Amino acid sequence: MSAQPAAVPHLEIDGVSKRFGETEVLRDVSITVPRGTFLALLGPSGCGKSTLLKIIAGLETQTGGHVRLDGEALDGMPAYRRDIGVVFQSYALFPHMSVKENVRFGLDMRRLDKAESAARVDEALELVKLGGYGSRMPSELSGGQQQRVAIARSLAIRPRLLLLDEPLSNLDAVLRKSVRVDIRELHDRVGTTTVMVTHDQEEAMSMADQVAVMAEGRVLQMGTPEAIYERPATRFVGGFVGSPPASLMKLSRRFEGGWRFGEIEWQMEPALARRLDAIRRIEVTIGLRPERMRLVEAGTEGALAAELRSSEYLGGERLLHAAVGQERIAALVGGHLSGLPKPGEPVHLLPDADAVMLFDAENGERLDP
């Protein structure tokens, strides 16, 4: 029996690095993206997301490594030959051209015949639900509509890949949430493999099938939003995803047994103590998800004795900011709770033991399997 040939990955970023002079902006980045996937590149400002997107698009050249699409190396291929659609942060439409002319722009460059061009423009505008808007000028559209025209312009060329760099950042908070749904639904209709850059973890988690979390030019973890949230590979990832993100605190073993935050002792639940014992460390960083904390009575087993510093009313929920010794901890509790303690008063917070994350205090890597 002969072995099945291994399937060729759709988009393959293979050991890509990039330097600008002395500065290393991307370090050995490897990502494989199956066809039809919506991938988010998520990371803080300056971590190299846009640079990676530009390398895929052919607008920037890598210092090392390869980018392959359907098995074909794109290295050295000019951007216009790659059949990749790109929408940038500023979706700049040509203000003196109508919506139709804007969408047709990329097709004219490709010298398609008139009828074919017209059909594709109509199709692309239908896809972004702007079918009746072809003769409007950009100034007669809302920010969200302009943004969809920019996407239609890149879809009209029927790209093999759609690249979006912070496509929502020019929109106000309300519009951003609705366009987020529009873009995801569009992706599901068209099925074009999409790579979107964002520094907004909520955007990445809510829109993408796969999220690659980047920091300082490296991919720290790639996985489904659920995997990234439930099982962050490093302290950085745990502290970056979630809204609000996890509280990270240093926990030390007491000489007499048990554990403490600075000078504050913590009588944790036995199941958690066993997990910590199994790890055999003197210090660990623990990650506590605010939404997995409960406000409990003093004396409840496993509760952390803290001091309330402030609280934010969020409508359905209330976000408490408390201090345990020198450490800060956040807890998301029901917004309807009455008789809440006031700043300066003690609060007792019980973390859900299953949701407590443990990281190496030195290198930040996840500790338990």
Ligand X SMILES: Nc1ncnc2c1ncn2[C@@H]1O[C@H](COP(=O)(O)OP(=O)(O)OP(=O)(O)O)[C@@H](O)[C@H]1O
**Per-residue contact string for residues 142-181; x = within reach of ligand X by CB under 6 A:** ----------------------------------------
The least distance separating ligand X from the CB of residue 51, rounded to whole angstroms, comes to: 3
Q: What tokens does 348 get?
A: 């007792």
Closer residue to Mg ion in complex, CB, 84/320: 84
Asked if 25 and 60 count as a contact pair (C-beta separation under 8 A), the reply is no
- Environment class of residue 354 by beta-carbon count within 10 Å: exposed (0-12), middle (13-18) or buried (19+)? exposed
Q: By CB under 6 A, tell whether 242 contacts ligand X.
A: no
Q: Which of 15, 20, 142, 326 binds ligand X (CB under 6 A)?
A: 20
The reply to whether 62 sits near ligand X by the rule CB under 6 A is no
Which residue among 31, 33, 42, 51 contacts ligand X (CB under 6 A)? 51
**Selection from 55, 47, 53 nearest residue 23 by Cα:** 47
* Partner interacting with residue 138 (select from Mg ion, ligand X, none; CB below 5-8 Å by kind): none
User: How far apart are CB 46 and ligand X at their closest, in Å?
Assistant: 4
Structure tokens at 10: 């759709």
Query: Taking CB under 6 A as the rule, does residue 45 contact ligand X?
Result: yes
Pick the closer one to Mg ion by CB: 20 or 313: 20
DSSP annotation of 179 reads H
User: Under rule CB under 5 A, which residues in 46-75 are in contact with Mg ion?
Assistant: 50
How far apart are alpha carbons 58 and 86 in whole angstroms?
Answer: 10
- DSSP H or E run through 202: helix 201-207
Q: In this structure, what DSSP letter does residue 4 have?
A: P
Integer Rg of the chain from CA? 25
User: Least distance from C-beta 203 to ligand X, angstroms?
Assistant: 12
Query: Can residue 102 be called a binding residue for Mg ion (CB under 5 A)?
Result: no
Residue nearest to Mg ion (CB): 50
| Residue 292 in the binding site for ligand X (CB under 6 A) | no
Q: Is 201 in the site for ligand X (CB under 6 A)?
A: no
Least distance to ligand X, CB of residue 31, Å = 15
25 is a contact residue toward ligand X (CB under 6 A) = yes
Judge contact between 266 and 251, C-beta under 8 A.
Answer: yes
Nearest distance in Å: CB 30, Mg ion: 20
Given the rule CB under 5 A, which of 12-20, 43-51, 170-178, 274-282 is the region that contacts Mg ion?
Answer: 43-51
**Which DSSP string corresponds to 50-96?**
HHHHHHHHTSS--SEEEEEETTEE-TT--GGGS-EEEE-SS----TT
The smaller minimum CB distance to ligand X, of residues 51 and 201, is found at 51
Q: How far is CA 202 from CA 23, 77, 207, in A?
A: 29, 34, 8
Give the distance, in angstroms, between the CA of residue 136 and the centroid of all CA atoms in the same chain: 34
Residues making contact with ligand X (CB under 6 A): 20, 25, 43, 45-51, 199
Residues making contact with Mg ion (CB under 5 A): 50
